[in-house]
Amino acid sequence: MKISVTLDGERLSAPQGQTVAGLLMTRGRVSWRTTAGTGRPRGLFCGIGVCFDCLVTVNGLGDVRACQRLVADGDIVETGATDVER
């Protein structure tokens, strides 16, 4: 079953049960935020919720681990990436 998700302002369909990280990676995104201190790219690293490299904002709630969060119909996902990084 497909659901509707908005990713950085773009409306997409995704399979039910897919993680936010999976959605980002199927869109060709390997990094979606940068570190505060040095501006280095971050994305999926451990894939099991131990690290904090894959953080995104979902429905206005920040610091959500993209590797752990399953997308839900109507979700609004925002990354810390700039247009250049997308």
Residue 7 near residue 71, CB atoms below 8 Å:
no
Other CB atoms within 10 Å distance of the CB of residue 42 = 18
User: What rounded mean pLDDT belongs to the chain?
Assistant: 92
Task: Indicate whether 86 pLDDT > 60.
Answer: no
In a domain, 64, yes or no: yes
In a domain, 50, yes or no: yes
In a domain, 66, yes or no: yes
Tokens of 70: 């399953």
pLDDT in tens, 39-66: 999 999 999 999 999 999 999 999 999 9
pTM, two decimals, is 0.89
Domain that holds residue 24: 2-78
> In this structure, what CATH number is given to the domain that contains residue 59?
3.10.20.740
Structurally, how many domains does the chain consist of? 1
